[in-house]
A = this chain, B = another copy of it.
Amino acid sequence: MSLDAAILKALRSSPSRGVSGADLSQQLGVSRAAVWARMEELRQLGYDISASPHFGYKLVSVPDVLHADDLLSRLDGKQVIGRDIHVFQSTTSTNDIVEKMARDGAREGVVVFAETQTQGRGRLGRKWVSPPKRGLWFSILLKPDLRPQSSTQITVGAAVALTRAIQARTSIVVETKWPNDLLIDGRKVAGILTELRAEPDKIKYLILGIGIDVNVRPEEFPEEIRHLATSLRAVTGHQVHRADLAEAVLRELDQVYRDICREDFTGVAQEWEQNCSTIGREVTVTFGEHTIHGIAESLDFDGALLVRSQHGHLERILGGEIHVLPKPGRSKGSPRP
């Protein structure tokens, strides 16, 4: 852990009493002058740190910036996901950065955030809009001992983790749409892009890319998707602290990932089904020129969606375009009996 991360961790561990410069100096094995210098640097970054002869240093408030040392200081160091964190001001796509790291032999669990992406992408090569400092755009390197066709477990697990973290920080209950969208009132608020490098029977590594529209303003979405997209700020009516949310997301992702690695996907799948806007609904699935129409019944052990087709067959859906049909019921204009 860097000195800044250690200082922020120490300040967080004593929020009311504060920590004296002498204690910090001893605890971290550096001079009091070095501690003072780092405090000045942190203040420059926007951290409000009070200092008094009596109480020592206290963390009064943290700015709404993503700062790798800050994020690291919030985690307990025993996590796989988040054992190493990088924040870029701007990248093409955080998945690209993690891909490069993977090729250079990086350990699993490294997380790369960017304040903005110039070529953010979604599923099937679609563009993902990432306005500067308005969201959480990040990617994680994972090396699960899974076969390629089980990689949907990771996508589904990530949806569960995001759902938990968003609910904990904003009290919003999001819906999940198989396999990779998080919705609020039918509008997309977050997406998950899973890319993998594999042999036919074994994943070499997997890159989990996540985009959460935290404080994006309606006018920042491209016009053509404005009616389909939303942000946590738009729904709650107030700014959501991104670093706090990032911390919750990384903790929950780590928890879910451990469950999947312990071959305990069943619990994850059950939780996913509870939040799901797809299960039990009439759906149309299109892949290439094929279309399946039926009722989405459940997830299987690989994370595939099981759809009971109109002909009574149970079809395993691993991808394609899912369209959830509106629930049957009286239309607004129908006469009352």
Contacts and interface: CB of A to CB of B under 8 A. Distances in A.
Nearest to A320: B201
A136 to B, nearest CB: 21
**In the complex this chain forms, how many copies of it are found?**
2
Contacts of A204: 195
A152 B200 contact: yes
Contacts of A194: 199-200
Contact of A124 (B123, B124, B199, B288): B199
Interface stretch (A52-60, A143-151, A162-170, A242-250): A143-151
Contact of A196 (B145, B152, B193, B199): B199
Nearest to A150: B200
Contact of A319 (B155, B201, B288, B318): B201
A290 to B, nearest CB: 11
A179 interface: yes
Interface in A65-122: none
A320 B201 CA distance: 7
Say whether chain A's binding surface is mostly helix, strand, loop, or mixed: mixed
Contacts of A303: 200
Interface in A279-301: 287-288
A75 to B, nearest CB: 27
A201 B318 contact: yes
B198 A193 contact: no
A128 to B, nearest CB: 14
A319 B199 contact: yes
Contact of A200 (B197, B199, B288, B318): B318
Given A148-B151, A200-B319, A201-B287, 14 more contacts: A123-B199, A124-B202, A147-B149, A147-B318, A148-B148, A148-B149, A148-B196, A149-B149, A149-B200, A152-B201, A195-B197, A195-B204, A196-B200, A201-B319
14 contacts: A124-B202, A148-B148, A148-B151, A148-B196, A148-B198, A149-B200, A149-B318, A152-B200, A194-B199, A194-B200, A195-B204, A196-B197, A200-B303, A201-B287
